Amino acid sequence: MIKFLDLQKINLLHQQEIEARLLKAFRSGWYLLGDEVKQFEKNLSAYIGCRNAIGVANGLDALRLILKAYMELGVMQEGDEVIVPANTYIASLLAITDNRLSPVLVEPDIDTYNIDIAKIEADITPKTKAIMIVHLYGRVIFSEELKALAQKHNLKIIEDNAQAIGAEWNGIKSGNLGDAAGFSFYPGKNLGALGDAGAVTTNDDELAKTIRTLANYGSEEKYVNKLQGLNSRLDEIQAAVLDEKLHYLDQENDRRKEVVKFYLDNITNPEIILPQLPENEKEHVWHLFVIRTKERDRLQNYLKDNGIQTLIHYPIPPHRQEAYPQLHHQSFSITEKIHEEVLSLPVSPVMTDEEIKKVVETLNNYK
């Protein structure tokens, strides 16, 4: 069977190096807020090109903490609005509503699956305080228009960079395009930990300090609590693994690009709508290779019967989720169409040429 993502194979690629780092962290006797986290934060901020990186417990917390810190700093308050793409993963919305902010959903562009920047301004109100862009499937969304729009309306740009680590726009890495960015190192992401992990990057030192404090019980000095914080720290073992794996990230993203090129050049079945390559290849790190087709479930079953595992990102849009009854009255035709038609094919740095060929042949034989 061709797995959607073979995590074991991915992590065993660098088995010796990772095991050495794990052992070192284990034997150090220091498991939180130590040197491994410091080193990873330093290397991550250097990689992104950004002044600050703060390790946190997961990607959802990274986004929650950015918004919570802005509220502590008086940039936004309960009931304010945050613009977010309607077709994002639920975590983007959870970060907003958890802070008692209000998500304002905007349709994506069907060609890129990213928020349609031209549709944002119509949804800006006096309560809008931020735009959360999501570099969905690994593709960067950014433009001079977006920057100008944020400036004009005095809005923060927050990047949900859970899926696009390593991507670039105009020579700037995703995670360094807006005011602050949240990263996820969930095991299946392009830079994956051996469990949950996340980070925030920002050039805003005051925001960084507030996030660091909030993530550690609201405390800067042990047992002295400045803020009502939470416990959301990156642990030493995960930081050590991530710091090691960061060395291989670009190389692994390049292999993903090779897989994708082969798919794009060789999948010819007219039933299948392929994702589009951005003009500048650096804008996409192909966390997911998402196709569209009219009878999606039939294609998924056909691929399964032929030994190819696929997933759907995502089957239910946020405004149709049971968790968000307050959004049920809204409708977003592009978003809904995407959720009915998308299917994610296997793509990873460890797929063999043989596997890639088999996926292509099987798809081309589908009728």
Please report whether residue 192 would count as binding ligand PLP according to CB under 6 A: no
Does 163 bind ligand PLP (CB under 6 A)? Our answer is yes
Nearer CB in complex with ligand PLP: 45/184:
184
Q: Which helix (H) or strand (E) covers residue 169, if one does?
A: strand 168-169
Helices (H), the chain: 7-12, 15-28, 35-48, 59-72, 90-98, 144-152, 205-215, 236-246, 249-266, 296-305, 333-341, 353-364
Span of 56-64, 145-153, 252-260, 359-367 interacting with ligand PLP by CB under 6 A: 56-64
Amino acid at 194: L
The answer to the question of residue 162 lying near ligand PLP (CB under 6 A) is yes
Stretch that binds ligand PLP, among 138-146, 155-163, 301-309, 338-346 (CB under 6 A): 155-163
Residue 146 CA to its chain's centroid (Å): 19
Dist. CA 286–CA 171, nearest whole Å: 18
Q: Which DSSP string corresponds to 37-74?
A: HHHHHHHHHHHHT-SEEEEES-HHHHHHHHHHHHHHTT
Only one of the segments 88-96, 169-177, 205-213, 257-265 lies at the binding site for ligand PLP (rule: CB under 6 A); that segment is: 88-96
Q: Which of 160, 204, 235, 252 binds ligand PLP (CB under 6 A)?
A: 160
CB of 73 to ligand PLP, least distance (A): 22
The total number of residues written for the chain in this structure: 367
Interface with ligand PLP, residue 234, by CB under 6 A = no
The 285-304 contact track toward ligand PLP, x by CB under 6 A, reads: --------------------
Question: Are residues 348 and 2 in contact, defined by beta-carbon separation less than 8 angstroms?
Answer: no
Q: Measured from the CB atom, is 138 or 229 closer to ligand PLP?
A: 138
**Catalytic residue among 156, 173, 189, 245, which?**
189
Task: Give yes or no for residue 198 binding ligand PLP (CB under 6 A).
Answer: yes
59 makes contact with ligand PLP (CB under 6 A): yes
- Answer yes or no: 189 catalytic: yes
**Does residue 347 interact with ligand PLP by CB under 6 A?**
no
Residue 186 engages ligand PLP in binding (rule: CB under 6 A)? yes
**With the CA atoms of 158, 161, 167 and 168 taken in that order, what torsion angle do they form, in degrees rounded to the nearest 10?**
10
CA 181 to chain centre: 10
In sequence order, what E strands does 71-117 have? 81-85, 102-106
Rg (CA), the chain: 20
Please report, as ranges, the residues that interact with ligand PLP according to CB under 6 A.
Answer: 58-60, 88-89, 91-92, 134, 160, 162-163, 184, 186, 196, 198
Write out the catalytic residue numbers: 189
